[in-house]
Amino acid sequence: MDVGFVGLGVMGLPMARHLQHAGHRLHLWARRPQSVAPFAGSDAVVHDSPAALAAATDVAFSVVTGSADVERLALGADGLIHGARPGWVQVDMSTIAPASARRIAAALEARGAAMLDAPVSGGAQGAQDATLAIMVGGSADVLERLRPLLTCLGRTIVHVGDSGAGQVAKACNQMIMVAAIEACAEAMHLANAHGVDLAAVRSALLGGSAASRVLEVMGERMVRRDFTAGIESRLHHKDFGILMDEAARLGAPLPIAAQVWQQLNALMAGGGGRDDTSSLLRVLEASTTEQSARS
């Protein structure tokens, strides 16, 4: 197939390569010319606008940062919609607000085209290994038509429901995951306050009912104090902004998520937005230092 791809960042670059290696012809558009440099010398086609990319493809994948970015990409003056035709599909794998996904889907449907909101979980490593979990909202028939493409990218592909449902599932995923990161940070902080070896505590916990992928990965980063970003914490902060807005709109109490949101806010205020989310540990440490200074 002729497959478009927009968003060649940490996640998007390996995903686009998987599609190319599977034999599909890539069509690319990027705001920054250097983003397409890894495909120089291949048969990938670079277009000068999203509209031109859509006109040349059967389906286009997008992995960009926020709701406004995806809406501009899809519906802007030179957006994908202007090259869309009946049967064409946008598969947006960004993490955005459910309402944004529904607006884009409705606009494309009016043109006879379609959209799947298909956010992912698994991080950069999952993108590199093609083991992502993909949560899909939109037409089940469209999903089945494109499933062979999605299997190039992920191991678990679940149709959650109508347009926007994939984004709802992703919000739930982020709530659980980042709350678990905060719990790991608090556990490491308590162990450190007692002067207990953090590596030993983590090893003990991994052998019990507290074991989790988050404790395995993020706990190790906390033990080693390696806060180099796997995924920058500002992106989790952005995701929590979406889900807290949804909670306020729906009147749905999310007390634990609200506390984690405040910790993420403190991390952003402290300049940690480009660090890994495991640096939530440093927010706790900073609070302890401030309390000690006051006493």
- What are φ and ψ of residue 110, in 5° steps? -65, -20
170 is catalytic: yes
- CA dist., res. 167 & res. 114, Å (int): 16
Q: Which residues contact 241 (CB under 8 A, 6 or more apart)?
A: 261
The pair of three-digit structure tokens given for residue 99, joined into one six-digit string? 């309402």
Grouping H, G, I as helix, E, B as strand and the rest as coil, residue 161 is strand
Find out whether 174 and 139 touch, Cβ atoms under 8 Å.
no
3-state DSSP assignment of residue 14: helix
Cα–Cα distances in Å, from 140 out to 143, 144, 160? 5, 6, 9
**Selected catalytic residue, list 18, 170, 234, 236:** 170
Catalytic residues: 170
